[in-house]
Amino acid sequence: MSTQTVPQLLRQQLAILAESDQRIDGRGRWEMREIDLEVGCLYNAEGSAKVTWGDTVIYAGVKFEIRTPYDDRPAQGSLMCGSELRPVAHRKYDPGPPSPESIELGRVVDRGIRESGCIDMANLCIVPGEKVWMVVIDIHVLSDGGNLFDAAGLAAIAALRNATVPAARFDVGEDYQLPVSLTPIMTTFTRVGGRLVYDANEEEELGGDERVSVTLGDTGAMHSMQKGLKGTFTPPELAEILDVAAEHCKNLRELVDSKVN
Amino acid sequence: MGGYGDVKLLNDDGSRLDGRAIDEMRPVEIRAGVLPVADGSAYVKHGLNEAIVAVYGPMEAHPRRIQLQDQAVLDVRYNMAPFSTSDRIRPGFNRRSREISKVTAEALSSVVLVERYPRSKIRVEIEILSAEAGTRCVGITAAAVALADAGIPMRDLLVGVAAGKVEDTVVLDLDKAEDNYGQADLPMGIMPATGEIAFMQMDGDLSMDELNTAVEYCFKGAADIYELQKAALKDRYNGGDSQ
């Protein structure tokens, strides 16, 4: 894909569509693409989920490792969430060490989960000062059809809620379901044709500007926000998307609830 | 091959621990066209192994020093997802994945009509989602279907299949225990229509007679997988009635 000509023509088209309140794939401004969520789909992962979100396909897998705790938190486990934008996901991705884009994706998802407090780190202690669990969530993007952030966030929390702590395999007791008390959900808005829309697809991202991601917890509290890419937005715009976000988060949380026990 | 002789791998009636006959494969499931943004893609589940392959191209070969004047370069990456094994794998390339990528690229280059696309590159991304012995074979089986799905001309499909030896008996398609504690492992890439071998590795201990039996088993297994590959490709175009 040429780096200049195509986005310029696309930007013009997106701007024309936006003037008459239209989107390039016929959706409404706040409308979501079709989603499919599967949980427990990976044999060797202790928790897993596959999200198909429009043309985006993402797997998340949860693994556990035993670590010595940090000195200042001897009775607390830890959490790590990473993502890989491997070349399998799109022809635009090159092989090599993790790109800034893939690091940002992993860290934004990580913050939404961590800061919601959905995992009580005290529950991950095995022997205080000696052994604690580290929960590792790996986000594996197989197809980038746009809005990786929301799809990755959904896959990560669904995989966590599906996870079993493999205590028997590590000889530290019996297996048990990982306690996850909340279901933080991320929603992302992208400026397309001059206005913010929800759930941008691949073309809208290519011809769009900044993105704003918000993660909301079960009570509606905000747990992470991230503005990315070039562009600016105003406080009234933020207030508007937060209202839309609340509605989508509620629906997506119900979807997760319906798939995990 | 791990320490053999100390783990029982065959039942008293000669069957295997998972109940299979010695020349019986694990169940195989193949689907073509599973990834929306790739030019071609395939999913293969073989026993508990799961692989997804995306193909991009043919495209201009970058960087230019990798270009070949008279043929296309196959840029193959075999990668195990961090959650694909019981102990998490640290992301990124390692010596094992580099070697498998190299020999897989060479095997696929023997099947694809690379001379049709001088100075270009075809990217083949093999992602192992779940590993339970035999992932390189599953990757090859899936890569061939993904290349065909991308419309890239080939002399034949390529089937990845392995035979091996457990308790002095040659068996088809080692599972994890047999791979870990068996006496030999022979993964092959077979072109079933032409009867050629495009990929072969082996480690362990095999006599000439055992090798002949193992190769025979591999060809037998490849013939079965070949039918599933063709059915998956036909399914892409007729709404799912071939399987």
Cα–Cα distance, B38 to B228 (Å, whole number): 21
Q: What are the pLDDT digits (tens) for A32-87?
A: 999 999 999 999 999 999 999 999 999 999 999 999 999 999 999 999 999 989 99
What is the DSSP-derived secondary structure letter of residue B90?
Answer: P
Tell me the CA distances in angstroms from B102 to A189, B11, B73, B80, B99, one per residue in order.
42, 38, 12, 15, 5
CA neighbor of A229 nearest in space, from A211, A215, A213, A206: A211
What is the DSSP-derived secondary structure letter of residue A166?
Answer: -
Spatial contact of B66 and B165, defined as CB atoms under 8 Å apart = no
B83 touches A: beta carbon within 8 Å:
yes
Q: What are the pLDDT digits (tens) for B77-129?
A: 999 999 999 999 998 879 999 999 999 999 999 999 999 999 999 999 999 99
**B215-226 burial, b for 16+ CB within 10 Å, e for fewer?**
bebbbebbeebb
pLDDT tops 80 at residue B3: no
Q: Do B81 and A140 touch (CB under 8 A)?
A: yes
Q: Do B81 and A138 touch (CB under 8 A)?
A: yes
Q: What are the pLDDT digits (tens) for B123-153?
A: 999 999 999 999 999 999 999 999 999 999 9
Q: Do B131 and A98 touch (CB under 8 A)?
A: no
CA neighbor of B167 nearest in space, from B25, B46, B1: B1
CA neighbor of A10 nearest in space, from A2, A57, A147: A2
A202 touches B: beta carbon within 8 Å:
yes
pLDDT band at A2 (very low <50, low <70, confident <90, very high): very low
Q: Which residues, in sequence order, are CB contacts of A19 under 8 Å at separation 6+? A: A193
Cα–Cα distance, B182 to B96 (Å, whole number): 20
Cα–Cα distance, B128 to A61 (Å, whole number): 13
Nearest to A142 among B57, B88, B127 (CB): B127
3-state class of A34 per DSSP? coil
Spatial contact of B124 and B174, defined as CB atoms under 8 Å apart = no
Distance from CA of B186 to the nearest CA of A (A): 24
Q: Which residues are paired to A178 by β-bridges?
A: none
pTM to 2 decimal places: 0.93
* Alpha-helix residue ranges (DSSP H) falling in A70-198: 100-116, 148-161
Domains of chain A: 27-260 (3.30.230.70)
Domains of chain B: 28-237 (3.30.230.70)
Mean pLDDT score across all residues of chain B: 94
Top residue of A88, A93, A169 to mutate, by most chain B CBs within 10 Å, is A88
Which residues of chain A lie closer than 8 angstroms to B83, CB-CB? 42, 44-45, 48, 61-63, 138, 140
Residue of chain B whose Cα is closest to the Cα of A146: B37
As a whole number, mean pLDDT of residues A237-246 equals: 96
pLDDT band at B5 (very low <50, low <70, confident <90, very high): low
pLDDT band at B173 (very low <50, low <70, confident <90, very high): very high
Q: Do A43 and B132 touch (CB under 8 A)?
A: yes
Which residues of chain A lie closer than 8 angstroms to B176, CB-CB? none
* Alpha-helix residue ranges (DSSP H) falling in A48-147: 100-116
* Alpha-helix residue ranges (DSSP H) falling in A95-201: 100-116, 148-161
User: What is the pLDDT, as a whole number, of residue A176?
Assistant: 96
Number of Cα atoms under 13 Å in the Cβ half of residue A153: 33
Nearest to A42 among B54, B87, B130 (CB): B130
Tell me the CA distances in angstroms from B9 to A81, A172, B171, one per residue in order.
39, 28, 11
Q: What are the pLDDT digits (tens) for A90-140?
A: 999 988 888 999 999 999 999 999 999 999 999 999 999 999 999 999 999
As a whole number, mean pLDDT of residues B215-236 equals: 97
Residue of chain A whose Cα is closest to the Cα of B49: A43
Which residues of chain A lie closer than 8 angstroms to B84, CB-CB? 42, 44-45, 61
Q: At what angle do helices A235-259 and A148-161 cross, to 10 degrees?
A: 40
Nearest to B85 among A44, A48, A202 (CB): A44
Beta-carbon count within 10 A of B242 CB: 15
Distance from CA of A243 to the nearest CA of B (A): 31
pLDDT tops 50 at residue A1: no
